[in-house]
């Protein structure tokens, strides 16, 4: 019975429930929470739009922000609107906005580093532990890893009705951006023959998801059944991918039985392209250490916490060094707080002193990021805070682990660290996504922009930067079909799961002769022009140049 509690599938289900409970708690807080900054002597109408603050006298703006519930954020660690209108003078507004934009860009960097170097590797390790096939892992765990910033941003935005349009705009904006700019860039970099059947399948599912979202926006509401339909459509998509792969393999086996070479259509429609691995965890300088050299425990810890490889630093360009300097603080904090399991390594990335330290630090990070630290600072019996209890329990577990293991071989239950790293990195992403949403909402108040336009532009751009660079790199390396497929597979997951899960929580290849799939540079240019036209229309509508009649 005891081994049942250590079953990887059960652990994964518990972690999923915990993350969903965190999102649900934000929903309850947004619907029942009281204002965090009650005003003294000034009462404003609670239903006034927060963007009305710009029309008030300078002396009244701070009181309005503090007393108006529509200006309060029910999550996050910083109140950005109060910072703009209460702590900085109006003459310093350009400086304040500049600082906020720089902080926003850095948060996007945090999201990218956390997802690529910590969240995705642990998801891959979990998929390996669960013995999932590449196709199932690709459309579930790896899709979740690649879309983590978008999903968490959507969940955070959907948790507050005032920012729900931000999530819709971001998911739509990212979808249009990826399927036009990124896909167009791929075909410009390396024209190729698209896989006909997977291409049509993904387009059909994406158009269905877009139609569902358009219908929900037209009706003006999303019911429980509608949210479940989103998630059900994604489950159907996963089953369709599995079935298509099985049919392809069956056709290949049948052709081998009859001693027939693989037809061009079968070869071109293959979904078994070599996959690029994102599971390379941070272990700098392995190739430079002597083979028989044994490090001490202190040396292992110091090396494991060092995110900089001095030899690689000297061989890289100036731009790489500048970006690396910006990443160093984030990488160090994540190395200290998030364990990473790598099944491809002989030692599975086992670092005994650091992993024991993770048993203390990671649970503290979990309780201090759940509901923006509300659970961590809660005092049990009015005496002991929760974080102190977690530290004591983690120290005991770390001590047992340290004396029961060695530096040279991973323990039998080392795979459990993948689940701990998955949970910790997910909550780091969630915390950063919360700050991103709050900053964008504040910028919308200052510039009188709707949340929809902010989602279509800034949030969509920020969350799609990593996907764009990854797909362009794949295309340059000779895998344009893989990169092109990723454009559609990722946005199907983001739109269906992002909208479906968010609303659910809120409501409780072809033959060479067939040229119709030949994607040329002209096709890529057309996609870029299409996105430019889409963006122009969205902005003209926002600023009132184009007027749409309401139904």
Q: Given a cut of 60, is residue 204 above it in pLDDT?
A: yes
Confidence label for 226 from pLDDT (cuts 50, 70 and 90): confident
pLDDT at position 45: 43
Percent of the chain whose predicted confidence (pLDDT) is above 70: 70
Phi, psi for 379 (deg, rounded to 5): -95, 125
* Bigger pLDDT: 56 vs 271: 56
What is the sign of the dihedral through the CA atoms of 488, 494, 497 and 498? negative
Cα-only R_g, the chain: 25
pLDDT at position 507: 65
Element (H, E) at 481: helix 480-506
C-beta atoms surrounding 252 within 10 Å: 16
DSSP 8-state secondary structure symbol assigned to residue 161: G
Average pLDDT estimate for 277-299: 56
Q: Given a cut of 70, is residue 316 above it in pLDDT?
A: yes
CB 222 within 8 A of CB 507: yes
Where is average pLDDT lowest: 14-18, 235-239, 504-508?
14-18
Where is average pLDDT lowest: 112-126, 137-151, 354-368?
137-151
Phi, psi for 380 (deg, rounded to 5): -75, 120
Average pLDDT estimate for 298-316: 88
pLDDT at position 65: 86
CB 129 within 8 A of CB 8: yes
Q: Given a cut of 70, is residue 342 above it in pLDDT?
A: yes
Each residue of 403-420: pLDDT tens digit? 999 888 889 889 899 989
Element (H, E) at 380: strand 379-380
CB 546 within 8 A of CB 536: no
From 516, 384, 487, select the one nearest 176 (Cα to Cα). 487
* Distance of alpha carbon 153 from alpha carbon 432, whole angstroms: 9
* Distance of alpha carbon 276 from alpha carbon 274, whole angstroms: 7
From 238, 251, 248, 134, select the one nearest 196 (Cα to Cα). 248
Q: Given a cut of 60, is residue 434 above it in pLDDT?
A: yes
pLDDT at position 510: 42
CB 366 within 8 A of CB 421: no
The distance of Cα 395 from the centroid of its chain, to the nearest Å, equals 31
Residues 6+ apart with CB under 8 A from 543: none
Q: Given a cut of 70, is residue 15 above it in pLDDT?
A: no
Each residue of 364-380: pLDDT tens digit? 998 888 777 777 777 88
Mean pLDDT of the chain: 74
* Distance of alpha carbon 390 from alpha carbon 396, whole angstroms: 10
Average pLDDT estimate for 234-242: 84
Q: Which two tokens stand for residue 305?
A: 């916490």
From 181, 239, 199, select the one nearest 482 (Cα to Cα). 199
pLDDT at position 484: 75
The distance of Cα 243 from the centroid of its chain, to the nearest Å, equals 27
Residues 6+ apart with CB under 8 A from 350: 409, 410, 411, 414
* Total residues belonging to the chain: 551
pTM: 0.66
Each residue of 486-519: pLDDT tens digit? 677 777 777 777 777 777 766 653 433 335 445 5
């Amino acid at each position: 019975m005891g081994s049942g509690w250590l079953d990887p599938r059960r652990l994964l289900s518990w972690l999923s429930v915990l993350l969903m409970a965190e999102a649900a708690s934000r929903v309850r807080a947004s619907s029942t929470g009281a204002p965090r900054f009650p005003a003294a002597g000034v009462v404003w109408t609670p239903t006034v739009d927060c963007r009305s603050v710009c029309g008030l006298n300078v002396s009244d703006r701070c009181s309005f922000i503090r007393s108006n519930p529509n200006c309060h954020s029910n999550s996050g660690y910083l109140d950005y609107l109060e910072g703009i209108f209460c702590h900085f003078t109006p003459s310093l507004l350009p400086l304040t906005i500049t600082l906020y934009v720089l902080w926003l860009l850095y948060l996007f960097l945090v999201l990218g580093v956390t997802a690529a170097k910590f969240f995705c590797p642990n998801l891959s390790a979990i998929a390996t532990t669960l013995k999932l096939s590449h196709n199932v892992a690709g459309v579930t765990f790896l899709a979740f890893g690649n879309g983590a910033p978008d999903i968490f941003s959507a969940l955070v935005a959907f948790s507050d009705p005032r920012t729900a349009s931000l999530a819709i705009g971001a998911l739509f904006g990212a979808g249009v951006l990826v399927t036009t700019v990124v896909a167009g860039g791929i075909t410009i970099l390396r024209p190729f023959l698209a896989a006909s059947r997977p291409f049509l399948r993904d387009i059909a599912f994406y158009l269905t998801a877009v139609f569902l979202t358009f219908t929900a926006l037209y009706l003006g509401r999303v019911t429980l059944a509608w949210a479940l339909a989103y998630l059900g459509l994604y489950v159907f998509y996963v089953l369709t991918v599995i079935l298509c792969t099985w049919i392809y393999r069956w056709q290949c086996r049948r052709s081998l039985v009859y001693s027939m070479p693989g037809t061009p259509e079968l070869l071109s429609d293959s979904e078994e392209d070599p996959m690029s691995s994102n599971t390379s965890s941070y272990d700098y300088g392995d190739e430079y250490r002597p083979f028989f050299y044994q490090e001490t425990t202190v040396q292992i810890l110091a090396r494991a916490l060092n995110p900089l490889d001095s030899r690689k630093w000297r061989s890289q360009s100036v731009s790489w060094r500048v970006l690396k300097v910006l990443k160093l603080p984030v990488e160090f904090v994540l190395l200290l707080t998030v364990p990473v399991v790598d099944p491809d390594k002989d030692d599975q990335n086992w670092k005994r002193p650091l992993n024991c330290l993770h048993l203390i630090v990671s649970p503290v990070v979990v309780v201090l990021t759940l509901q923006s630290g509300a659970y961590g600072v809660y005092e049990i019996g009015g005496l002991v805070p929760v974080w102190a209890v977690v530290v004591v329990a983690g120290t005991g577990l770390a001590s047992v682990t340290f004396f029961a293991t060695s530096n040279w071989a991973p323990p039998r239950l080392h795979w459990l660290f993948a689940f701990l790293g998955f949970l910790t990195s997910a909550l780091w992403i969630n915390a950063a996504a919360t700050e991103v949403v709050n900053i964008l909402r504040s910028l919308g108040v200052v510039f009188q922009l709707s949340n929809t336009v902010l989602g279509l532009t800034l949030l969509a751009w920020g969350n799609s930067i990593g996907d764009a660079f990854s797909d362009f790199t794949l295309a340059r390396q000779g895998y344009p079909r893989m990169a092109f497929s990723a454009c559609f597979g990722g946005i199907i997951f983001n739109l269906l799961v992002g909208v479906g899960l968010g609303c659910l929580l809120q409501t409780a290849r072809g033959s060479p002769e067939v040229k119709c799939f030949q994607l040329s540079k002209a096709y890529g240019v057309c996609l870029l022009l299409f996105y430019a036209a889409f963006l122009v229309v969205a902005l003209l509508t926002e600023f009132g140049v184009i007027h749409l009649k309401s139904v």
